[in-house]
Structures are given as C-alpha cells and as structure tokens.
C-alpha cells in the first residue's frame, strides 16, 4: 500500500525544496507468499440466523361488563347512603388518654407546688388502667408521670425530714449568746 510522505525538506543554499516521496507499507503480521503477493485473508463466518419469534398468545374472550346502575327517575329522592361506610380523607389519629396527660403535667408542676406529685401518681395509675381497657394512646406519658411523681414524692419526704432535723438541732442549741 503506497504511502506518500509530503513535505520532506531538502536544503539547497538559501532555498528549501519540498519533494514528495512514495513508500510502500506492508503488514508485518501477514506472512508474504514467495511471489511477493499477500495471501488471501479468510473472511469471517456468516452470522447465525435468529430463531423465529414465538406465536402470539391466544386470549379468551373477556367477561361481560356488569350492568350499569339504575338512575332514579326525575323527581324521586336519591337513595340514602349507608352511615357505616368509611369516610374519605385522612384517618382520625388515635385518642390520647386525658389522665395520662394530667399525670405528666401534675408531676412536673409538683416540683413548684409540692402537692402535684400526689395528683400525678393517682392520675397515672388510673390512666394506665384505662389505657389497658380501651387501647388508647398515652401509656408513655402515664408512666413518665408516675416516675416523676414517685421521685418527687420521695425527694419531698427526704427534704421534710432534713428540715425537721435542722430545726430540732437549732432549737436544742439553747438560747441567745448575746449579753447586755
């Protein structure tokens, strides 16, 4: 295969001349025959014939459509709707037990008033009992109200005992040490 190399410069005095030279390129990977010709290159095998597509499925006739509902005649009243049918829209959230909320709030308020702990404990126990029977939400709030209520009650009892002991020590110390 001839390959032309263009613009190979040759220098002559102050001028540069360009000449075109012809070169033959052979593939070193193809063995040459003794006559100098390249042997015939085998052609690639023909692509296999793809299989015929499958036959389309056979469908049975579809079932008949249900009859259209009857339309009431003009002037008659429409049929009443069933009240037990579910309504459209978002489902109503589960109800939270009120005594569980009261238990938690009263136990937290007990840190400021002192009496709220007892209300929180009582409402917490009643709220847990109601939650077991009705399946309402709020068990965690009722338990939190009970825990806070019992901790607050124990702390208030301990503080009451400490104050009584301190006043008893102060009273037994004696009278005044000031002299006139």
Contact 149, 117 (CB under 8 A): yes
Report how far residue 139's alpha carbon sits from residue 105's, in angstroms, rounded to the nearest whole number. 14
Which residue in this structure is represented by tokens 């010709």?
37
Q: What is the pLDDT of residue 40?
A: 64
| Predicted TM-score of the model (pTM) | 0.47
CB 100 within 8 A of CB 138: yes
pLDDT digits (tens, 9 = 90+) for 38-50: 556 677 777 888 8
Model confidence pLDDT, tens digit, residues 113-159: 878 999 999 999 999 999 999 999 999 999 999 999 999 999 999 99
Query: In this structure, are residues 149 and 118 in contact, taking their beta carbons and an 8 Å threshold?
Result: yes
For 16, phi then psi, to 5°, come to -110, 130
């Amino acid at each position: 295969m001839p390959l032309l190399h263009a613009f190979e410069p040759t220098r002559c005095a102050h001028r540069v001349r360009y000449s075109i030279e012809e070169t033959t390129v052979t593939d070193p990977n193809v063995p040459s025959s003794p006559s100098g010709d390249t042997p015939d290159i085998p052609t690639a095998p023909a692509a296999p014939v793809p299989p015929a597509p499958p036959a389309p499925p056979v469908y049975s006739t579809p079932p008949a459509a249900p009859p259209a509902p009857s339309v009431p005649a003009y002037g008659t009243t429409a049929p009443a709707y069933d009240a037990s049918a579910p309504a459209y829209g978002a489902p109503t959230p589960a109800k939270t037990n009120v005594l569980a909320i009261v238990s938690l709030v009263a136990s937290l308020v007990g840190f400021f008033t002192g009496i709220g702990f007892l209300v929180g404990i009582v409402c917490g126990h009643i709220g847990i009992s109601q939650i077991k029977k009705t399946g309402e939400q709020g068990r965690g709030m009722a338990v939190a109200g009970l825990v806070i209520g019992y901790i607050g009650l124990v702390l208030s009892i301990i503080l009451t005992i400490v104050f009584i002991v301190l006043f008893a020590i102060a009273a037994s110390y004696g009278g005044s040490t000031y002299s006139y």
